[in-house]
Every structure is written in structure tokens, then in C-alpha cells.
A and B are shown apart, each in its own frame.
Chain A
Amino acid sequence: MAPRQSTPPAVLACGEIRTCLLPARQALDIRSAAQLLGLRADERVLLSERPGLYARSPETLTGVDCPLPSANGARVRAVGTVTAHAALTEGRVLQTSAHCRMPGTGPDQRRPWGEYLVRPGVVEPLGKLPRDAVAQGVLGGPRHGDLDVGLIADGLLTRVLRHPLLDQRPPFRSRPTRLRWAALPAAPGEGPALERFTLAEDELRTVRLRVPEGTAGADIAALCDDLALHDWLLTTVVRMLDGLRLGAGAAHDAGAVVRTLRPAVDHLLHLWMPGARVGRELAALWDPLEERPGFTRQWQALVQRIRDQLTLHAIPAAHREVEPAP
């Protein structure tokens, strides 16, 4: 067989990330994290200690052969592999992230499987890729039977959560979030851009990006992992404060306020570091989010509110002339 020319460049990359609290009483240290994420005997877990503890599993591949989701109903079959990894931040927040890249055209029929395996993370259309319709289809959510990278992230999450290291005693109740993303090529000469960040249903976020040709799928995934992590932190802390009954009527329950907010201090407040693990070029995509709505601004307000609440409740009730109000 004649060797194939290199794959045509990807014209669409997409992925989905699940983010949740690690169900363990104690945050995992770096060695336990390496154990948890050692998905393969022959590949190391990547460990990093600056600017915070971070561990990432080797990539795992899942084979797919199915129609691509599309907004206009076109059913284009595609074959290839979706790559996925799990990551743990500060031994506390667990993420699984699955993604793939798609070239603009592919062969008319399926190739031998081994040829797909040497291009990990590439899903090739049979024929031409209706790029914009697929990007929209991915973000809108696949129909049953269409390619669903979210299921692959979920499958990996389920696998990691079955690890015996986890005692299944999370320090507080929280909800996992999903972040779906799609990246289209930027116009020639243009830099990367974050076109849209949407809070969809309760747990779903969607991100639409433009990236210069040649941007590695792994780099885009790293940016989206980072967005997902920080969005989860915001969502989780907002819900923690939502669940509180504050104000005069709840004066007797100062203990409850402290019980509810303390886990945030113990486990979450030190995790805020947007852009820390993103390549310089893509890290710039944080800027529009910082401007409006201002992720870090909201985070700082929440942190301040938590600290104020804890300070107020540290004062014996008799000395509190005015009850804290929300």
C-alpha cells in the first residue's frame, strides 16, 4: 500500500468536558493523583506543581463510526478516534475532557482501522464535511445515534470514579457541569477569538471559538478545560451561597452558615487561577470574559461575601446589632 499523504488540516475541532468535585473526604496528594489517573501501565501521568497541583492522565482513544450531528439535518458519516483525558486540579476538582478534530474532506469509504489509529483524535468524514452545520449541531447537542463526544467524557469519568482510592465522601454536595465547545478556523491573518460563551441549561455551557489554522487540538482542549474549571468554581460557589438562609430570621442558625461556607474556604477558594495552564496565544481568550461579565470580578465578590459572612458569624450573636443580610 502506498503511504497516505498527511491528513488535510482540521477545519473543525470540538469537544466536551465534565467537571465535578472529587468524591473524597481529603484532597488527593500528587502521588495519589498519579495513581488515580494512571489509566495506562506504560504511560506516565503528567504532574505539575506550579502554580498549583495539577495531574493529567495519558490520552485514551475511543473509536467511532457514526453520523455527525448537524444543524441542517445532513447526515454525514464519519470514522475515527476521539481522544480523552482526565485531570485533577489541587487534588480536588476532577475533569474529563474528550475532543476530536475533523478535516474538511475524507475518503469515500471507511479505511482499514489501523490507518485511523495512527492519527489519534482525528475523525474523518466520508466525503465532504458540512463544517458550519456540524459545528452548530455539536453545540446544539447531538441527536441519539450521532457522534457524542460528551458520552466519551462521561464514560471516562465513570471509569475514574470507580477507582478504589475514592472514599465517596465528598466534603459537600455539588453538581457536575458540562462544557461543550467547537472551534472553527479564524479568517486568514486573524488571531484566535472567543465568539460565544453560553450558559445553557442548568449544567450545560457551550463555547464557540475561532482559531488560526494549525492550532493543536490539545491546546484548544486545554483552554476549554480551563474555562470549564473556572466556570464550575463560580457555579458551585454561587449555589453554595444560594442555599443559605441569611438575614434576621435565620439568626439562630449561624452554625449552618459556617457549616455551609466552610468547605468553600477549605477546598475551593484557592483554586482560582484563570489561564494558568493555557498557551499564551489562547490564554488571551480569557480577556473578553474578564471584561464582560468579568469572571474574576464575580469570583472576588463571592470570595469577599463568604469571608464577610464567616467574619460576622464569628462574632457572638449578642454583639451583632444588625443581622447580616444577603
Chain B
Amino acid sequence: MLVFAASDKGGTGRSVTSANLAYQRALTGDHVAYVDFDFGSPTAAAVFDVPGAMRGTEERGLHSYLEGETAEPVRIDVWRQTEHPLLRARPNQSGRLVLFPGDAGGGEFATGEEALERCVDLLLKLNNEFDVTFVDLSAGRSYAVDMVLDATAHPRMRNVPFRWLVFHRWTRQHVIAASGLVHAEHGIIGGGVERGHDEDELRAAIRFVRAAVPDPESPLWSQGSTAQATWMQACDEALRRLAAEQRIGDSVVLGIVPLEPILQWQEQLITEEDVLSTQIANKETLEALEEIARRLTDDTHWGRL
């Protein structure tokens, strides 16, 4: 299965969250690929802690591949090449976790017919090899989004299942923007239909992930005043109403990732170790990630609503 990770704005935690989802899937035994189509600012190498492996990928990353300058994009075996001490010991029974980085110096670029064919080649190849392939897309209505909408509408891809995750923060502006990305005239659905996607099927394959959501019940806020707590409750309530109006309400939410300093500041994978022994990450965050990872392939959370 292909999973496209999209967001309307930067700073939604899209890359770090989807990388964590990839990690969680690999822990359960799936073979997982993580494809960095965040052409403007490739960051996945930092999240997986493989900066050393990035040396020499200036000319053999995904940009070069799509432009036809290299036939096989670099692949980085995360378990083997990460500098993260905990990830190095590949957990027993875990699947492979392979990162396909962008070029170190690559920028956003215009795509053409040939790039699209190569994109289809790559996605098919990955789908034949990996159980789940995460594709991290540049923020907004980017070339990357257009390209994968084109690719998934391509006749050769007709039998390849795919799902979209749209990440957004829990604020007024982000809720409106995320809804726009999906539902606006030339949004993911509109743009997809223009490219030959079936509207209902595409809609059924899109779910939202609310990221960096402050939980009013969390001990983080327990020191606050009663007035503060009430205010937060009210805001949360108002945002829920807004989200529902914007057609991105609870029924199309796959999961909620709590506000987590480690994701905000450090952009890293959250391991059990971080929760249990060093306790730098919250248990709730890890559980949320595990749950979203599980729901990705749980059909009861997908479909027309």
C-alpha cells in the first residue's frame, strides 16, 4: 500500500509524524519504504538520524532519479545506517525500513511526462517490494502533490491501493487551510478528479491527522488556572465545530497526535526507550503513533462516510 503524507502548511509535523508511522509499521514486521518527495526541504535524513549516509547523495537522490540523471535512487537502510544508537539494534522480527532521500541540494522543480513515468516506475517497484510505502510530499498544492495525483491515476497504477494522510495543527488557520488543500476547487479531490480519479473513491482514501494538539486534560496544563482550563475547553469545542463545518470533522480523522516537545524541537523518532527509561517523551504520544500506524491498514477506519 502507498501512503501519501500531505499538509497545507509547513510546521505541521508532517515529516516527523509520518517518519514515526513508518518506524512503527516496521516494528510490527512490515517492510517499509519512506520516500522523501518533500522537494523544497528534504529533512527525512535528520529524522531517521542518517546524516552520514547522506554524503554523496547529491547526485543520486530522488530529484536526479525523476529527472532521469540516475537510474536507481539511493536507498538508505535505516537499521543499518542510522547513527541513532537505539535504532541500530534492529528489533527482532521487525521489517526492513528503507529511506529514499531527495538530493541533498535539490529544490522544487517542474515535472514532465518522463518524470511522471519514472515516478510510476518507482512507486510500482516499491509497492512490489514493500508492504507499506510512505511518500512525504512538499507542503501545499505542490508539484509533488500533482505528480502523485497524476501517478495514481495512471493506468499502470490501477491495481495499486493508496491512502492519503493530511496533517494539520489544531488551530483555526490550520483547520481552514487543511480543508482547503483537500476540498478547494483545485484541491486534492478536485485536482484528482481532473486527472481521472473517481471522486468518491478518492474521498474515501483521504483521512486527517491532527498534530501537536494540546490535550486540556494533560498534566502539562494541570498547573494552569481554572480560567485557563475553561478557555481551552471552549477553544477546543469551537475548533471541533469549525472542523466539522470544513468537512474535516472527527469522522474523517484517523488520529490525533498530542503536543509533544520531542517532535516539535528535536524532530526524531520516538522509541519505547524514550518513553520508558529516559522518559523524555510522553506515553500518550507513542500510543497515538502506534494507533495511527495500526489504523492505516484497518479498513474500518477508511471508506466513504
Does chain A touch chain B in the assembled complex, meaning CB atoms less than 8 Å apart?
yes
Which A residues lie at the B interface, using CB under 8 A? 20-21, 23, 144, 151, 154-155, 158, 161-162, 164, 166-170, 173-176, 202, 243, 245
Q: Across the interface, which residues of B come within 8 angstroms of A168, CB to CB?
A: 124, 127-128, 156-160
Interface string of B132-165 (1 = CB under 8 A from A): 0000000000000000000000011111100000
| A23, A154, A161: the one within 8 Å of B71 (CB) | A154
A162/B121 contact (C-beta < 8 A), A154-B72, A168-B160, A173-B31 known: yes
| B131: Cβ under 8 A from any A Cβ | yes
Tell me if B121 and A169 are in contact (CB < 8 A). no
A306–B119 CA distance with the chains assembled, in angstroms? 37
Interchain nearest-CB distance for B255 vs A (Å):
25
| B106: Cβ under 8 A from any A Cβ | no
A284–B61 CA distance with the chains assembled, in angstroms? 42
Which B residues lie at the A interface, using CB under 8 A? 29, 31, 59-60, 71-72, 77, 93, 95, 117, 121, 124-125, 127-131, 155-160
> Which among A144, A173, A176 has the highest number of chain B CB atoms within 10 Å?
A173
Q: Across the interface, which residues of A come within 8 angstroms of B72, CB to CB?
A: 154
Q: Across the interface, which residues of B come within 8 angstroms of A174, CB to CB?
A: 128-129
Tell me if B121 and A23 are in contact (CB < 8 A). no
When C-beta atoms are compared, the residue in chain A nearest to B155 turns out to be: A164
| 18 examples of A-B residue contacts, CB within 8 angstroms | A21-B128, A23-B124, A144-B59, A144-B60, A158-B71, A161-B124, A162-B117, A164-B156, A167-B158, A167-B159, A168-B156, A168-B158, A168-B159, A169-B159, A173-B131, A174-B129, A243-B29, A245-B29
> Which among B31, B59, B128 has the highest number of chain A CB atoms within 10 Å?
B128
> Which among A162, A167, A168, A245 has the highest number of chain B CB atoms within 10 Å?
A168
A170/B128 contact (C-beta < 8 A), A243-B29, A245-B93 known: yes
A23/B128 contact (C-beta < 8 A), A162-B156, A168-B159 known: yes
A151/B129 contact (C-beta < 8 A), A158-B121, A169-B159, A245-B93 known: no
Closest 9 CB pairs of A and B: A169-B159, A154-B71, A151-B71, A23-B128, A170-B128, A168-B159, A175-B129, A168-B124, A158-B121
Interchain nearest-CB distance for B58 vs A (Å):
11
A158–B119 CA distance with the chains assembled, in angstroms? 12
> Which among B95, B155, B156 has the highest number of chain A CB atoms within 10 Å?
B156
When C-beta atoms are compared, the residue in chain A nearest to B159 turns out to be: A169
When C-beta atoms are compared, the residue in chain A nearest to B72 turns out to be: A154
When C-beta atoms are compared, the residue in chain A nearest to B31 turns out to be: A173
Tell me if B124 and A173 are in contact (CB < 8 A). no
Q: Across the interface, which residues of A come within 8 angstroms of B95, CB to CB?
A: 243
A161–B95 CA distance with the chains assembled, in angstroms? 26
Starting from the known contacts A155-B71, A168-B160, 18 additional A-B residue pairs (CB-CB under 8 Å) come to: A144-B60, A151-B71, A154-B72, A158-B71, A158-B121, A161-B121, A161-B124, A162-B121, A164-B156, A166-B156, A168-B128, A168-B157, A173-B128, A173-B130, A174-B129, A176-B129, A243-B29, A245-B93
A169–B127 CA distance with the chains assembled, in angstroms? 9
Q: Across the interface, which residues of A come within 8 angstroms of B60, CB to CB?
A: 144
When C-beta atoms are compared, the residue in chain A nearest to B60 turns out to be: A144
Q: Across the interface, which residues of B come within 8 angstroms of A173, CB to CB?
A: 31, 128-131
Interchain nearest-CB distance for B121 vs A (Å):
6
Q: Across the interface, which residues of A come within 8 angstroms of B129, CB to CB?
A: 173-176
Q: Across the interface, which residues of B come within 8 angstroms of A170, CB to CB?
A: 128
Interchain nearest-CB distance for A3 vs B (Å):
38
Q: Across the interface, which residues of A come within 8 angstroms of B157, CB to CB?
A: 168
A23–B127 CA distance with the chains assembled, in angstroms? 10
When C-beta atoms are compared, the residue in chain B nearest to A170 turns out to be: B128
Interchain nearest-CB distance for B289 vs A (Å):
22
Interchain nearest-CB distance for A242 vs B (Å):
10
When C-beta atoms are compared, the residue in chain B nearest to A152 turns out to be: B71
Interchain nearest-CB distance for A226 vs B (Å):
23
When C-beta atoms are compared, the residue in chain B nearest to A20 turns out to be: B128
Interchain nearest-CB distance for B120 vs A (Å):
8
Q: Across the interface, which residues of B come within 8 angstroms of A162, CB to CB?
A: 117, 121, 156
Interchain nearest-CB distance for B209 vs A (Å):
26
When C-beta atoms are compared, the residue in chain B nearest to A159 turns out to be: B121
A166–B124 CA distance with the chains assembled, in angstroms? 11
Interchain nearest-CB distance for A134 vs B (Å):
21
